[in-house]
Structure 1
Amino acid sequence: MTHQAELYFSFRSPYSYLAIGRYRQLTEEYDLSIALRPVYPLAIRQPDFFERNHPNWLGYTMRDMLRVAAFHHIPFGPPKPDPIIQDMATRKIAEDQPNIRRVTRMGQAASRRGAGLIFAAEAGRMIWGGQENWHEGGHLDRALEAAGLGVEEILAEVDSDAEALDAEIAANQDALEAAGHWGVPTLVFENEPFFGQDRIEMARWRMELQGLEAR
């Protein structure tokens, strides 16, 4: 029996990136299907979050994400550009955010077709793995192709159905909170949330208790 889980994910979250490749590997090694549920990052949902956070938060997070990537041998480089347009000196978030909205809508369109996990893993590697100008030059098109999706179809849908996609993305956030958490990455398995890139092994353990088997 194929077990089902949902992964709540943000394309701006380094920890989402650091988790998704390992979750993808689980679906390849075990009889498991993980549905991607993309959400907009805190910078969109709570623009003042970074302005009111502790001054040490950013420095610690940068240090931690780098060591997590090194520990797991995951390619990692600062996004070029950051999916969020932000003044790093003041931490103020710009009102217009074309990059994060476009890639998140692409992720939701891929999720509509059951291909969100692969698209997000491929796009995440471009954003966080060091691909310069990941938002241009057809890089995201290749992520769509890797997920078995039609590039023209998805891009047309992102443009023509943006409002409905955004409503689905907002519903993903509501579902995440209803499941008992608010942040990403969070895997939900049988209504139990597992938050963070450091809960993957625990999630697998829980699934194995429920009969998850290797392929």
Structure 2
Amino acid sequence: MTLSYDLYWSFRSPYSYLVTPRLVALEAEYDVRCNVRPVYPIAVRQAGFFSNADPLWFSYFMRDVFRCGEYLGVPIRWPVPDPVVMDPATRTYPEEQPYIFRLTQLGVVAAEAGKGLAFIAEVSKTIWSGTVDHWHKGDHLAQAAARAGLDLAALDAKVAAEGDRLDAAIKANQDAQRIGGHYGVPLMVFDGEPFFGQDRFDQLVWRMKQRGLAKR
């Protein structure tokens, strides 16, 4: 029996990026299906989240992100540009966001096409790995979509035509995320149980094996 789980995931989250290669490898080896449910990052959902945080939270976060990448052997560099535009002096976020709304809606369209995991894997690698400069220019995203078996122009056309519906789908994902047991990403919800954070991947697999996870 094929197992399945919901993945609440953000294009602005380095931890979402860091867990994704393991989720791809898991699905390749085992009879399990990932139901990708993109959400907007916490900076968009709660505009004052970072400006109100203790400064030690942010400094530790930045140290931990790159340490995790080094430990996992996953290349990581803070994206240029940041998928979410921020005022660095105040750590506040304007309502006008030229990147994250499109990216998240593209993720929903890719998931609806049955290629959500491949799409977020390829696009997040393009954005976060540091292998390309200015991920938003040229054909970087088009190439990432093509590697996932999708056509970026077709995805963008759907985003342009169905923006309100896709935004409603993202809102539904965010509501389901909280029902699932947490507000952060990456959040994997399997059999009603939440596993929050890239460092809960091994526990997710452990639980799946208890429920009969089998190799392909």
TM range (shorter): over 0.9
Given the two structures, how large is their TM-score scaled by the length of structure 1? Answer: 0.97
Q: Quote how far apart the aligned CAs of 1:152 are.
A: 2.3
Q: Distance in 1 between matches of 2:159 and 2:144?
A: 15
- Deviations along 1:69-103, whole A, 9 cap, x unmatched? 00010011110110011011210112200201111
Question: 1:57 is paired with a residue of what secondary structure?
Answer: helix
Aligned residue in 1 for 2:206: 205
Q: Quote how far apart the aligned CAs of 1:214 are.
A: 1.5
Question: 2:7 is paired with a residue of what secondary structure?
Answer: strand
Task: State whether residues 10 and 185 of structure 2, in contact with CA within 8 Å, keep that contact through their aligned partners in structure 1.
Answer: yes
Aligned residue in 1 for 2:173: 172
Aligned residue in 1 for 2:30: 30
Structure 2 counterparts to residues 1-215 of structure 1, below 5 A: 1-130=1-130, 131-215=132-216
- Deviations along 1:17-73, whole A, 9 cap, x unmatched? 111111111001111110110000011111111110001111110100001000010
* Superposed structure 1 runs of 4+ greater than 4 Å apart: none
Task: State whether residues 83 and 100 of structure 2, in contact with CA within 8 Å, keep that contact through their aligned partners in structure 1.
Answer: yes
Q: Quote how far apart the aligned CAs of 1:150 are.
A: 2.5
Q: Quote how far apart the aligned CAs of 1:151 are.
A: 2.5
Q: Distance in 1 between matches of 2:209 and 2:124?
A: 27
Percent identity reads 47
Q: Distance in 1 between matches of 2:138 and 2:2?
A: 37
Task: State whether residues 24 and 117 of structure 2, in contact with CA within 8 Å, keep that contact through their aligned partners in structure 1.
Answer: yes
Q: Distance in 2 between matches of 1:163 and 1:143?
A: 25
Q: Distance in 2 between matches of 1:126 and 1:191?
A: 32
| RMSD after superposition | 0.9
Q: Distance in 2 between matches of 1:152 and 1:87?
A: 31
Note the residue ranges of structure 1 that are not aligned, 5 or more in a row: none
Question: 1:87 is paired with a residue of what secondary structure?
Answer: coil
Q: Distance in 1 between matches of 2:86 and 2:44?
A: 11
Q: Distance in 1 between matches of 2:28 and 2:83?
A: 28
- AA aligned opposite 1:147: A
Question: 1:52 is paired with a residue of what secondary structure?
Answer: coil
Question: 1:194 is paired with a residue of what secondary structure?
Answer: strand
Q: Distance in 2 between matches of 1:100 and 1:30?
A: 32
Q: Distance in 2 between matches of 1:197 and 1:125?
A: 16
Q: Distance in 2 between matches of 1:49 and 1:152?
A: 34
